[in-house]
Structure 1
Amino acid sequence: MSPFKGQTGLKRIFNAATYSLDGLTAAFKGEAAFRQLVLLNVILIPLACWLSVSRAERAILIAVCLLALVVELLNSAIEAAIDRISLDRHPLSKNAKDMGSAAQLVALTTIALVWAVILL
């Protein structure tokens, strides 16, 4: 059994929050794409708050921006796991990395479409 399992209560919550912050820090320091998305969110989220749209529309505008960050974190995690397993070129490794990239493309397209539908 893992020594990291079995924590309960506040200790588990504190540990989980620490691991999450470590992950965000690693993504920000090590992933240019994540930093670019953070910059995009720094621009778009305040813009969503400033625009004259309904609360539901504002929530959707913000949610799709945050979704792209989530997808990039998962994409980076997939890439790191694949690279940890082997740096050798393998068709399955390529597929995994390409699918992660495709997920990010879908997330960015979703941002563009949702913002266009709400604002136009």
Structure 2
Amino acid sequence: MKSFFLSFKYAFEGIVSAFKKERNLKIHFVIAAVVIVLGALFKLHKLEWIILILTIGIMIVLELINTSIERTIDLITEDYHPLAKQAKDIAAAACLVFAICTVIIGLIIFLPKII
């Protein structure tokens, strides 16, 4: 059981470490907090909450994966390599694509309630 609980400890350490060092992750957490407050103010339906929680969770997961890819590449080589750049850029692109999707989802959910 000790190793089971240690795995949670290490996972939380990873979140804290990424949060301290990654500006974009901080931004995602702030936006997530704003969205949660707005969701409470607008009294979202159960399905809307499920969609928002999924989009927030996936966005944070993608940012953590992007960070781990960047760290791994930086660990492997300090030299510039076109494939390393592509790997970092593609991981960042995945975050950007999903961030755009989350904005669209947010507009679909919140715009009718604002109007």
TM-score between the two structures when normalised by the length of structure 2: 0.88
Question: Which of 68, 80, 86 in structure 2 is aligned with 1:77?
Answer: 68
- 2:4 aligned partner, one-letter code: I
- 1:29 aligned partner, one-letter code: K
Alignment of 1:1-12 (within 5 A): 10-12=1-3
**Structure 1 regions of 5+ residues with no counterpart?**
1-9
Question: Which of 83, 88, 105 in structure 2 is aligned with 1:114?
Answer: 105
Paired with 1:68 and 1:21, the residues of 2 have a C-alpha distance of 17
Alignment of 1:26-65 (within 5 A): 26-65=17-56
Does the 8 A contact of 1:72 with 1:104 survive in 2? yes
Partner of 1:6: none
Q: CA RMSD in A?
A: 1.3
Query: How far apart are residue 76 of structure 1 and its match?
Result: 0.3
CA deviation string 1:48-85 (max 9, x = no partner)? 23323320112102221221111100000000000000
Question: Which of 5, 10, 26 in structure 2 is aligned with 1:19?
Answer: 10
Structure with the higher fraction of residues in helix conformation: 2
Q: What secondary structure does 2:5 align onto?
A: helix
Paired with 2:90 and 2:40, the residues of 1 have a C-alpha distance of 32
Identity level (%):
32
Name the structure, 1 or 2, with higher relative contact order (CA <8 Å, separation 6+). 2
Paired with 1:110 and 1:71, the residues of 2 have a C-alpha distance of 13
Partner of 1:98: 89
- 1:97 aligned partner, one-letter code: K
